[in-house]
Structure 1
Amino acid sequence: MNVVATTRQLARAAMVLAAAAVVVLVHTPTAVADPQATEQQIDKTFNQLEKVGEEYKKNAIELRDSERRASKLGQQLKPLERKVDTMYEAVGRMSASVYEGGDLAAINSMMTSGSPSSLLNQVSTLDLLARRQHHQVAAYEKARNELGGKKKRLERIVTADRRKAKDLGAQKKKIQGQMDRLQQQHAKEVSDDTGGYVPPYVPGRAGKAVSFAYQQIGKPYVWDAAGPDSYDCSGLTMAAWATVGVPMEHYTGSQFAAFPKVPRDQLQPGDLVFWNNLAHEGMYIGDGRVIHAPQPGENVKISTMTQLDYIGPYDGAVRPS
């Protein structure tokens, strides 16, 4: 028996086993797409975005109001400041006149009037005028200072609101970026299963209604059917919105009359769109596309708004709520 060869074989076998063990240890299983988990993340992120968005709008209103009030106070301050400056100049001129005239003016007045009491009366009158002027200046100064104090406080609020607007804007942008990435991830996860167009996931009741309608794609059109295995056009929309607790009649005319009208250029996913004198309807899902149950012999599918325009005149849209 060749001991050296046997030893080499054993060593080689040990190395192979060790390498295999390393492969087992470091192997990471491929992540499995989970559209439902992604939808939950989108819902959570959207709730954050809504809160920040509402706070952003509230702050914008407060900022606009503070800036308006600060501007108004600034306009009120201007005439007061001019008035105080003018009165200070008048008091200054009066003081300079009295100072420059001094005793010589008093003696001259006595000699001219021939009466000390007349001089006293004149001095008293000047003193009264000076005091009255002083009180007026003080009153204007007080009003100016009060308005100036209010303006400074408002300016501090404006500065804080602008800083808050900047911070909220940054938060909003960051969360919106997360939403966009999650939407792309969700579209990829679902399209991996379907191989077709995937409507963007929309949080809330409208999004759930769209998601339900999307899951019915491929099921046959059957007149007066409302699921679960087949649908007509109004049966599909009725069933989709019923999943989120919005009841409606199984009739296009009733559905069109039951909810607020929406202009075509303001359509949102979940809105119901109608054509051909209310003979046909579908559910808008975004990107100019509609999920609908077309006609006998066809299945629930996605069509563009332009394609549906060919079946008859566009009647309008409503938003279930």
Structure 2
Amino acid sequence: MGAVRRRRGASSFVVLCALAVLTAPGLATGTAFAAPPPEPGVKSLEQVRKEIEDLYRQAGTATDAYNLAEAETKTQSDKIVEIAKQVAAGQERITTLKSRAGAAARAQYRSGGLPPGAQLALSDSPSQFLDGADRLRQGEKATSDLLSELNRTQSDLQQYAQEASTRWATLEANRIKQEDSKKQVEQKIKAAEELESKLEAEEKAKLIQLEQEAQYQAQKAWLSTGAMKDVNNAASEAGKRAVQFATAQMGKPYVWGATGPGSFDCSGLTSQAWRAAGKGIPRTSQEQLRLPKVAIKDMRPGDLIIYFDDASHVGMYVGDGAMVHAPRPGRNVTLAGAGSMPIKAVVRPDA
């Protein structure tokens, strides 16, 4: 993991965070950045930061809904293709059965279809008649079985048609949901970008400082609770591979709906990291929340940390109180404090 080494303990990451904040432009004196008081009726830079953060949070929630709808759409599409194959096979089977039924009917017609009494009268001996009657019964059973199979196959086709109709309806609902979510994502990101675009270059730099300071203060408060006191568990082999993949993506941009290789959203990064480790997990952070949960004290590198009450963000714990994540549009995959956002749950993909 390069700079992240377990023997430094949880405090090492706090020190790194503190240095990142305290050595930022305008903070060399060790004092926290404070924006000048705004003019009356003008939003402060901190208010703008919170508004932008809230918009990106909403975009993250909509992104999760979009990703889920996309995954469900693919599932429904795959199922419809499978149903189409079953229908084709069923229709081919019916054609074969009808051909066999027609052959049986023609054979019966050629035999004359005489009643048993007439056949007994015309036969040379009773034993010959009994042999014929036995063959007749066998033929009748075969015809009955054939007709039963034909009815079952036709019934299956009706069931396939009903299922396909239901799947198509679900597919269309998912498509609409996906389009709605996409619009919400685009609207929220556009609103956030417009807010940020109104800032001067110096204000944008200060905005980043404010983000870093807010994350540092949240991490510091979280560590002060003793949350990391007993966290010293080693990663599993699969967890090591997942961490290696995730940290190797650092510096790549966040793009909503992306799963790599050049860009990721938050759950795209974690799902692909575990896929690289040989373990398929759900695509979205809300679905990843359903993975087996572990207590924070039992957390180990490779575990996923789900953030916020709506499970709209996810990162991967990498050790020393840090996690790697794809933060939001306009930011790159990076390390951050594991407690820099409100934790909802910790889950373990390879439990």
- Please classify the TM superposition score into its range, dividing by the shorter chain length: 0.3 to 0.5
TM-score (norm 1): 0.48
Larger radius of gyration: 1
The structure with higher relative contact order (CA 8 Å, sep 6+) is 2
